[in-house]
């Protein structure tokens, strides 16, 4: 579509992202006396909806999940619409708060290109914000007071936005899973894996049932990458065969050798001057969530925040 484009009361002015099922735009809503408010609008492609009707229901589920989450470090959903557009036909779109900033993946790439590392203090603050957001999602209760148990399942640097005030926002709960069967139209079949292999927990790679400890593992891999500048699972995945090899490598990953490399990196002051006590604290902090057996990880994101 040619921009600007009017969609209901939202004026799409700039494309900010492209996904498998649609596109995300920065949109404006104008009111009286010069009032302008910005939003992010995720629009499903009409041909995708026609070919795969369940995609629209999945977006509605995503909107319903996110609308229940009220946390400063989670992108807020403010609207969900289905309209009959004279040119586009059936249009489904979700309206979210617009985060002005950049995603953590882009931030990391820029720093690595300049041979710079993220200061350890910044990583600590980012980790606290993300783990607090996860704790809120994991503990969410429905109107009957029952815990919904939302698991993000696709936590990665690209799904973490940093705004211009340094605040981290978790986004894209599009493949999130709630244990309440009424929450999601597209069920996760046993043995099916979704998400990004570099940040998946071992149990997610195996297709096992998940709980919040899977997200904690993913967060541990992100914190490691923020400090080290390289992924914990540092392999190339461009083909199906490489994906299979990457999954095998993930199961065989020697966490202690990775932590030894991180210790050397921290001792070289790449992330700022740290005492031996602080370095030991970082190693212990990351060892806990990166355990392959989830029973040895922190039992909740709230307890990980406290650590």
Query: Token pair 């993300």 is at which residue?
Result: 130
Output the pLDDT for position 46.
Answer: 81
- Please name which of 151, 163, 275, 267 lies closest in space to residue 218, comparing C-alpha atoms: 151
CA distances to 106, 135, 141, 205, 211 from 243, rounded to whole Å, are: 23, 30, 36, 11, 24
Please tell me the distance from the alpha carbon of residue 288 to that of residue 290, in angstroms, as a whole number. Answer: 6
Distances (CA, A) of 184 to 40, 60, 61, 122: 23, 9, 6, 35
Residue 107 confidence (pLDDT): 95
How large is the angle between the packed helices 212-228 and 120-138, nearest 10 degrees? Answer: 170
Q: Give me the pLDDT at residue 174, please.
A: 56
Q: Considering the candidates 154, 181, 211, 293, report the single residue annotated as catalytic.
A: 154
90 included as an active-site residue: no
Give residue-wise pLDDT tens across range 89-135. 889 999 999 999 999 999 999 999 999 999 999 999 999 999 999 99
pLDDT (average), residues 53-75 = 86
| pLDDT of res. 176 | 56
Task: List, in sequence order, the alpha helices (H) in 39-93.
Answer: 46-51, 54-68
Digit-coded pLDDT (tens) for 202-239:
999 888 999 999 999 999 999 999 999 999 998 877 78
Q: How many CB atoms lie within 10 A of CB 147?
A: 13
DSSP letter for 186, please. S
Q: What is the pLDDT of residues 157-170, one digit of tens each?
A: 999 999 999 999 99
- The secondary structure element, H or E, covering residue 137 is helix 120-138
């Amino acid at each position: 579509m040619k921009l600007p484009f009017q969609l209901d009361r939202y004026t799409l002015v700039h494309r900010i992202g492209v996904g498998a099922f649609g596109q995300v735009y920065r949109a404006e809503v104008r009111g009286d006396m010069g009032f302008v408010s910005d939003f992010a609008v995720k629009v499903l492609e009409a041909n995708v909806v026609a070919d795969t009707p369940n995609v629209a229901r999945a977006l509605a589920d995503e909107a319903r999940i996110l609308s229940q989450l009220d946390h400063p470090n989670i992108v807020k959903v403010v609207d969900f619409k289905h309209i009959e557009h004279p040119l586009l036909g059936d249009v489904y779109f979700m309206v979210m708060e617009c985060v002005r900033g950049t995603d953590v993946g882009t931030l990391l790439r820029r720093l690595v290109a300049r041979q710079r590392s993220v200061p350890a203090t910044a990583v600590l603050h980012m980790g606290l914000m993300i783990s607090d957001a996860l704790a809120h999602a994991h503990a969410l209760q429905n109107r009957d007071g029952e815990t919904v148990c939302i698991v993000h399942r696709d936590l990665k640097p690209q799904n973490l936005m940093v705004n211009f005030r340094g605040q981290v926002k978790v986004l894209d709960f599009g493949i999130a899973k709630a244990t309440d069967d009424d929450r999601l139209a597209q069920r996760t079949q046993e043995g099916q894996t979704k998400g990004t292999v570099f940040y998946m927990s071992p149990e997610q790679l195996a297709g096992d049932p998940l709980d919040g400890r899977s997200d904690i593992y993913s967060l541990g891999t992100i914190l490691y990458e923020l400090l080290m500048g390289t992924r914990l699972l540092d392999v190339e995945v461009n083909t199906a065969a490489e994906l299979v090899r990457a999954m095998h490598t993930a199961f065989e990953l020697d966490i202690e050798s990775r932590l030894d490399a991180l210790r050397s990196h921290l001792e070289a002051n790449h992330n700022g001057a740290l005492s031996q006590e602080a370095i030991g604290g970082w190693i212990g902090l990351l060892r806990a969530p990166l355990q392959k057996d989830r029973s040895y990880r922190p039992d909740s994101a709230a307890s990980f925040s406290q650590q």
